[in-house]
Structure 1
Amino acid sequence: MIKNLIFDFGDIFINLDKPATARELERLGITDFTPEMVEKNQAYEKGLMTTEAFVDFYHNQFPNTTKASLIDAWNAILLDFPKYRLEFIQQLAKDKKYRLLLLSNTNDLHISWIQHDWGTELYNEFAACFEQFYLSHEINLRKPDANIYEFVLRENDLKASETLFIDDTAENTDSAANLGIHVWNLIPGEEDVVDLFTHKKSLF
């Protein structure tokens, strides 16, 4: 029996244009991610680099860019937040049938953009729906590493067998499933989180 619901953020609640950042970076002359760049990206997502150091790294690698253009490219992935999804999670929170947690790989640039785009009131309304609001750059862990799921289970005294994790990336749900957590690898554009109880009705 499912008692706990852990939600991803991007392409679960907020819509993403995943190719957008690569497309915008290509316009700036950045056509490929080197191993060092991938390492920096992951470090930044874990909060192991400041935003200033992260942007400086790319600016030093590609001096023909501007810092503003790099930031805009990095945030190009972020789109809209449909109101019906907010209403869905607010109703779940109101019903109090499940413990609700959010677990997202994100970074300071993205969250700052979201807070500005949504406004403080809407952002706080959304965050208040969750018992825990875990962002990778704040807890220094990232999916799909097993230790991030172990951390969430341990910190909240959750049983994997009573927990469902919803994420749009198969690598992330596969990792969680290896720990005995029930998963829904949601396919954006084909499935929607508001259909949770129809799509995964066998678990409820």
Structure 2
Amino acid sequence: MCLGEFTLELELEVPAGGITAVMGPNGSGKTTLLRCLAGLEATEAGRINLGGRLVDDPAAGVWIPPERRGVGYAYQDVRLFGHLSALDNVAFGPRCRGTGRSVARRSALADLDAVRMAGSAGIKPAKLSGGQAQRVGLARALAGAPPVLLLDEPFSATDVDVRPLLRRQVRAAGATVVLVTHDPADAEELADAVLVLQAGRIAS
């Protein structure tokens, strides 16, 4: 996949329901890979298939926008909506897809409870710690049970003692997962496969 002056030269196939961890130094293309898969980065060449569906192929004129890719994305820098409570941040995606307000908020509360954040449902992001915000971000990515999860350092700011719970929630989701991490424990405890990127290529 070509993106201006940066090239991602790799072939990645994640089995349905599988979890692949992507590791590597800063600037190796890990986040860029997730952004391409999510449709947040425009590619100039290459092909991307998600769930057997072609979503990006510049040569064929195919590009499916992010909201139609069936992807849940947990950003490294979280990016919660500052004007919404934790609960409404998690309910936002399902609401945009047509779920009724009461149903979406009830489901969002369950998602927050799964990451031990139900007690902070009414709090806005500015009042959350970095680790708490990351847990809300993970709950938001999991909301609506997307078939594909893209996770960018989703546990890095969380307390060490809560990370096993968060890893279990990711595994229990049953989604196809691409997990960017610098933590070997994430790869060892969660991933079915691990690849290491170096300058946009899989390291040998």
Please state which structure has a larger fraction of its residues in helix.
Answer: 1
TM-score above 0.5: no
TM-score normalised by structure 1 residue count: 0.31
TM-score normalised by structure 2 residue count: 0.31
